[in-house]
Homo-oligomer: A and B are copies of this chain.
Amino acid sequence: MRLFHAWLSSASRRVRLCLAEKNIPYESHAVDLSKQEQHAPEFLAMNPDGVVPALEITPGRFLHESSTICEYLDDFAPEPPLRPMDAYVLAQMRNFVRWTDEKSLPPLLILNWSLMLQSTAQQWSDQELQDKLARIPTAERREAWVRIARKPYSEEEKADALRKLLLLVDKMEGMLASHSTSPASSSWLMGADYSLADIAAAPFIARIAEIDPGTLAESVHPNVCQWWLAIQRRPAFAAARLQLFGEVLQERQSGTNATA
């Protein structure tokens, strides 16, 4: 398999976590978002939405959407299973993953793009911006690029995005508490077994750990705190390389490119 992804993208991180849990070997192809490679014709042939990741399963057969890719991988390589056996718990897992896509991803994009793209994007000339927009396949993303280049998110909007992103932590605390007999007993989001729900949430919590670490303190969200420690102890976590944003920014500034 060949994975076309970006190191800092939450959806890419999910798929890397899943591939690592399954121990599936793959060829890593980092897509340079700053060069807009995700909107190049070769990438759009893999994913018409023009967003990372895309997985090439066999030559010429592609799959996109991280939630779909993860379920596919669990069919493709059933061990270790990453979906609950019980049909009702499985359905709840799917609704949780969907919830993170709908409620957590949009505010995180506002925060990430403000940090990583805004300072460059503001320097684009009108012509450069128009050229870039012409390559973007969806109206939603064109709008987001216009925002970041010309109408940067205000401090109030970023605070609101953070507030929305942190709703995930409260939701997870409730889910974990419902399975756990004591705050110290570690459990996973759907119960005793690690699942695609945990994989879906991990990239968001990894960002929250950088943006607002106090939220993950033992005294504030004891179950999520334990969960986050337990996730980081999994061998797949290291293998999936969820680099810190700070590190990547530093690399970028110093001109090195260890994550390429």
- Quick check: B90 and A75 within 8 Å, CB to CB? yes
Q: Flag whether A94 is at the interface (Cβ < 8 A).
A: yes
Q: How far is the CB of A112 from chain B (nearest CB, A)?
A: 21
Q: Flag whether A23 is at the interface (Cβ < 8 A).
A: no
For residue A72, which residues in chain B have a CB less than 8 angstroms away from its CB?
87-88, 90-91
Top 7 closest pairs, chain A to chain B, by CB: A75-B87, A72-B91, A68-B94, A68-B91, A68-B95, A65-B95, A63-B91
Q: How far is the CB of A195 from chain B (nearest CB, A)?
A: 15
For residue A67, which residues in chain B have a CB less than 8 angstroms away from its CB?
94
For residue A64, which residues in chain B have a CB less than 8 angstroms away from its CB?
95
For residue A57, which residues in chain B have a CB less than 8 angstroms away from its CB?
88
Identical copies in the complex: 2
A197 and B232 alpha carbons, distance in the complex (Å): 37
- Quick check: B63 and A88 within 8 Å, CB to CB? yes
A66-93 contacts to B (CB < 8 Å): 67-69, 71-72, 75-76, 87-88, 90-92
A87-126 contacts to B (CB < 8 Å): 87-88, 90-92, 94-95, 98
- Check A87/B76 contact, CB under 8 A, given A65-B98, A98-B65: yes
A residues at B contact (CB < 8 Å): 57, 61, 63-65, 67-69, 71-72, 75-76, 87-88, 90-92, 94-95, 98
Q: How far is the CB of A15 from chain B (nearest CB, A)?
A: 13
A91 and B91 alpha carbons, distance in the complex (Å): 16
A256 and B92 alpha carbons, distance in the complex (Å): 38
A61 and B92 alpha carbons, distance in the complex (Å): 11
Q: How far is the CB of A244 from chain B (nearest CB, A)?
A: 31
With both beta carbons as reference points, the residue of chain B lying nearest to A138 in the complex is identified as: B103
For residue A69, which residues in chain B have a CB less than 8 angstroms away from its CB?
91
With both beta carbons as reference points, the residue of chain B lying nearest to A57 in the complex is identified as: B88
Q: How far is the CB of A128 from chain B (nearest CB, A)?
A: 28
Which single member of B61, B90, B95 contacts A88 (CB below 8 Å)?
B61
26 A-B contacts (beta carbon < 8 Å) = A57-B88, A61-B88, A63-B88, A63-B91, A63-B92, A63-B95, A64-B95, A65-B94, A65-B95, A65-B98, A67-B94, A68-B91, A68-B94, A68-B95, A68-B98, A69-B91, A71-B91, A71-B94, A72-B87, A72-B88, A72-B90, A72-B91, A75-B87, A75-B90, A75-B91, A76-B87
A71 and B87 alpha carbons, distance in the complex (Å): 9
